[in-house]
C-alpha cells in the first residue's frame, strides 16, 4: 500500500498539469493556432536539451550492453504489445479496414515520454535511470516509426527522414559522446543551457496532452467495447509482458526500474496524429488515449507498486 501511495503522489502532479491544459484552452491562453509552434519547440529544442542534460556523464551508458539491451527491449516490447493488441482486436469486432490496425498501434504504444519522465524522476531520483529511460525510448521511437507506421499505412519501407527528430538525434549524439568518452569536452556553460531549457519539456508537453484531450474528446462517439478493450489490453495484459521482462531477463537494475514504470502507462497520444495522416481510425486512437489515461489514475499506482515489489527494484 505504501508503494501505491508513493506512485499516486508521483502521478498526481502529472495529471494536474494535464488538467490545466483544458483550462488554458477554455480561457484562450493556449489557442489551437499556438499548438504546432509550441510542440515543435518542445520536440526539437526542449526535449533534446533534457536528454543531453541527463545523458552526458551517465557512466552506465558507456556499457554497450546496457545501451543495446535498453533500446532492444524498448523495441521488442512495443512489437510484442502491438501484436497482442492486433490479435485480440477481432474479439471486440475490429477487422482490418474497420480499426484493427489502429487499435493495435494505440494499444501497443504507451505514453513512454511525457508521463514516464516525471514518474521516473520522482520515483527513483537518479540521473542514471533517466539516461537509461531515454535510451529505452530510442527503441520505442524506432518501433513506432517502423512497425507502427507500416501497420497503419501499409507502406513496407518508411522513409529514413522520419528518424530526423530532435529526441532521436539527441540520444544518438549523447551515446556517441559517451561511447567515445568525449562528453567531458562539452563546456559546462552548455550543460547549464541544457538544464535550463530541458526543465521546460515535460510540463509544456503535458499541457498539450490536456488541450488535445479537450479538443478531441467531445468530437468522438464513445464505443464501450473499444474503451473496455483498450483498458484490458493496455492496462492489464500488456503490463504483464513488461513485468515479466523486468523480472526474468538479465537486465541492468536501472532498466528494470524503467520497465516497471513503462508497464503502467496509458496509451500514447501520438497514434492520434499517425492515424490522422496515414489512413487509420482517428476516433479509435482518441478513445484509447482518453479512456486509458483516465483509467490509469486508478491502475498506475497498483501496477507500479506491485511491480517494484515483485521485480525487486
Q: What's the angle, vertex CA 144, arms to CA 286 and CA 135, rounded to 5?
A: 120
Mean pLDDT of 41-69: 88
The answer to whether residue 33 scores a pLDDT higher than 80 is: yes
Q: Are 108 and 81 in contact (CB under 8 A)?
A: yes
User: Over the stretch 268-282, which tens digit does the pLDDT of each residue have?
Assistant: 887 877 776 677 788
| Predicted local confidence at residue 9, as pLDDT | 76
Considering only residues 239 and 93, tell me which one the structure prediction assigns the higher pLDDT: 239
* Residue percentage of the chain with pLDDT more than 90: 36
Q: In which band, very low, low, confident or very high, does the pLDDT at 262 lie, cut at 50, 70 and 90? A: very high
Lowest model confidence (mean pLDDT) among 1-5, 73-77, 295-299:
1-5
Q: Are 82 and 234 in contact (CB under 8 A)?
A: no
Instruction: Set out the domains of the chain in order of their start, with CATH numbers.
Output: 2-311 (1.20.1530)
Lowest model confidence (mean pLDDT) among 38-47, 113-122, 272-281:
272-281
268-302 as b/e: b if 16+ CB within 10 A: bbbbbebbeebebbbbbbbbbbbbbbebbeebbbb
Q: What's the angle, vertex CA 262, arms to CA 25 and CA 98, rounded to 5?
A: 70
Lowest model confidence (mean pLDDT) among 26-30, 209-213, 263-267:
209-213
Arithmetic mean of pLDDT over the chain: 87
| Predicted local confidence at residue 303, as pLDDT | 92
pTM for the predicted model, two decimal places: 0.84
Give the whole-angstrom CA distance, residue 57 versus residue 186: 10
Amino acid at each position: 500500500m505504501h508503494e501505491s501511495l508513493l506512485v499516486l503522489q508521483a502521478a498526481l502532479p502529472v495529471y494536474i498539469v494535464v488538467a490545466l491544459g483544458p483550462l488554458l484552452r477554455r480561457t484562450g491562453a493556449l489557442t489551437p493556432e499556438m499548438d504546432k509552434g509550441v510542440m515543435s519547440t518542445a520536440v526539437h529544442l526542449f526535449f533534446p536539451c533534457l536528454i543531453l542534460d541527463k545523458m552526458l556523464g551517465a557512466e552506465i551508458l558507456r556499457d554497450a550492453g546496457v545501451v543495446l539491451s535498453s533500446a532492444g527491449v524498448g523495441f521488442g516490447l512495443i512489437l510484442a504489445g502491438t501484436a497482442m493488441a492486433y490479435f485480440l482486436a477481432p474479439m471486440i469486432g475490429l477487422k482490418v479496414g474497420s480499426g484493427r490496425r489502429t487499435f493495435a498501434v494505440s494499444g501497443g504504444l504507451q505514453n513512454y515520454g511525457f508521463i514516464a519522465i516525471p514518474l521516473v524522476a520522482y520515483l527513483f531520483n537518479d540521473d542514471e535511470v533517466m539516461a537509461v529511460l531515454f535510451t529505452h525510448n530510442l527503441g520505442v521511437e524506432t518501433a513506432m516509426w517502423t512497425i507502427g507506421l507500416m501497420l497503419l499505412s501499409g507502406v513496407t519501407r518508411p522513409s529514413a527522414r522520419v528518424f530526423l527528430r530532435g529526441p532521436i538525434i539527441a540520444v544518438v549524439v549523447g551515446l556517441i559522446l559517451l561511447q567515445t568518452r568525449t562528453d567531458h569536452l562539452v563546456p559546462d556553460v552548455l550543460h547549464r543551457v541544457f538544464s535550463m531549457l530541458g526543465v521546460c519539456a515535460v510540463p509544456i508537453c503535458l499541457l498539450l496532452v490536456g488541450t488535445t484531450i479537450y479538443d478531441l474528446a467531445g468530437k468522438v462517439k464513445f464505443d464501450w467495447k473499444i474503451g473496455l478493450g483498450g483498458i484490458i489490453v493496455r492496462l492489464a495484459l500488456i503490463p504483464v509482458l513488461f513485468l515479466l521482462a523486468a523480472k526474468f531477463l538479465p537486465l541492468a537494475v536501472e532498466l528494470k526500474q524503467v520497465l516497471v514504470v513503462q508497464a503502467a502507462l496509458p496509451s500514447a497520444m501520438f497514434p492520434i496524429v499517425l492515424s490522422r495522416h496515414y489512413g487509420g481510425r482517428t476516433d479509435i486512437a482518441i478513445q484509447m488515449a482518453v479512456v486509458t489515461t483516465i483509467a490509469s489514475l486508478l491502475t498506475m499506482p497498483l501496477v507500479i507498486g506491485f511491480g517494484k515489489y515483485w521485480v525487486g527494484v
